[in-house]
Structure 1
């Protein structure tokens, strides 16, 4: 797994990604389920701004990232008891099937090594999601990128259609291919990325035949 230089950012500033939740998390918490008592899994949580937003809405959140610096920042920035912080390998995460109401992977897939790892990630997300639960996925895709703010980083860039195909049997509430412009606080370099965002709902369990 590649960190894209983010670990340098986590060590340079106390809150690299800011405190506002990402756009799909905002959409979910404003339009779909503003509050809840269920469980959320945030894979590749970074400093946990999305995990914190779900926790503040009432969810119990398991937040996991490979970066100890990110988790340390998150613990300090978001001292919320409803978030269980873990440093670990997301692809090795283990939990029973149908454990979570919502599974999130925001900015994670493009840090993986190849398409097979992405498929493994999405299969894991789908398996851990309860019937009628949700997946939130955001990742770079294979369109235009300015990587000047990420020296030495070669992200995995797959087509938007690759990701939509992985959810072809779920209800895709949102499935967009956009260009974002941003500036990271540790180096001040403006740049852009092409981004796939998917919010998908898992079908209900198929009833047993009588």
Structure 2
């Protein structure tokens, strides 16, 4: 597991620094084959190389090895979620009801909520009989998810993870995410969605939405530095080989941060069907 995590992170941070394998190898005084073996999880760097590798990639050793470590909040919602109120309310997203219709929990179904925020949707799914796992990058969001689950009398396996770092290694029946996928950098979308699809059980569902860029809609007021643009048609492109229950685009009004504005959003529901 360490080899795979380190391999993925070396690729990620090398690309973020704009380095080729050859350039990284030259800075470390190694052959590019050595770097290639690291990135293909065929070998691990020598322990003595980690400080130099960390400095070259401009990332802490702990984060390079897959341990969450941040000097500052990754998202503005770390502070937003510290309010005692649930800023998104407690009413589940309308897509939650579509999951219930398309894949009711008449048997044990494992569901993953990717970027669960304050937990309202994750807890809704748990109340309705799904075996729910959820993660978020915010400590405040995780705490509120746990409190809401406890108050409701259900269990949600919730933990802290970064959507850029997290990968599945076991199967789920439903993958669900609302308002989070814009935190995935464009260069990593193919690899991350391939992972999500590979670890989805046969006949499983992906129920996702993502904000899309439109030139006639002003940028949102939150100024999220870690947000990355998606474009119309981009999300559906990852699901050419799946059955599509829905792929639509909407424009809606929003009042987050107390500033009225609009968003354009692509909604997708896709099912994994065998050939």
- Could you tell me the TM-score, scaled by structure 2's length? 0.66
Against the structure 1 CA distance between its residues 134 and 117, is the aligned structure 2 distance closer, same or farther, given a 3 Å change threshold? same
Which structure would you say has the larger Rg?
2
Between the two proteins, the alignment pairs up a number of residues equal to: 200
* Alignment check: 8 A CA contact 1:59 1:82 kept: no
Aligned-pair CA distance for 1:148: 4.7
- 2:177 equivalent to 1:105: yes
Tell me the distance in 1 between the aligned counterparts of 2:270 and 2:113.
15
Unaligned segments of structure 2, at least 5 residues = 1-69
1:168 to 230, 240, 263: 240
Equivalent of residue 270 in structure 2, options 182, 197, 200: 200
CA separation in 1, counterparts of 2:265 and 2:139? 26
Does 114-123 or 149-158 show the bigger shift? 149-158
Asked if 2 retains the 8 angstrom alpha-carbon contact of 1:39 and 1:59, the reply is: yes
Q: Distance in 1 between matches of 2:104 and 2:189?
A: 29
Q: Which runs of 5+ in 1 are unaligned?
A: none
* Greater relative contact order (CA < 8 Å, ≥ 6 in sequence): 1
| Larger fraction in helix | 2
Quote the RMSD (CA, aligned, Å).
2.3
Q: Tell me if structure 1 keeps the 8 A contact 2:127–2:154.
A: no
Matches within 5 A, 1:43-82: 43-79=114-150, 80-82=153-155
Q: How does 1:1-210 map to 2 (within 5 A)?
A: 4-29=75-100, 31-36=101-106, 37-79=108-150, 80-97=153-170, 99-112=171-184, 114-143=185-214, 144-151=216-223, 153=225, 155-184=227-256, 187-204=257-274, 206=275
Query: What is the CA–CA distance in structure 2 between the aligned matches of 1:193 and 1:165, rounded to whole Å?
Result: 21
Higher strand share: 1
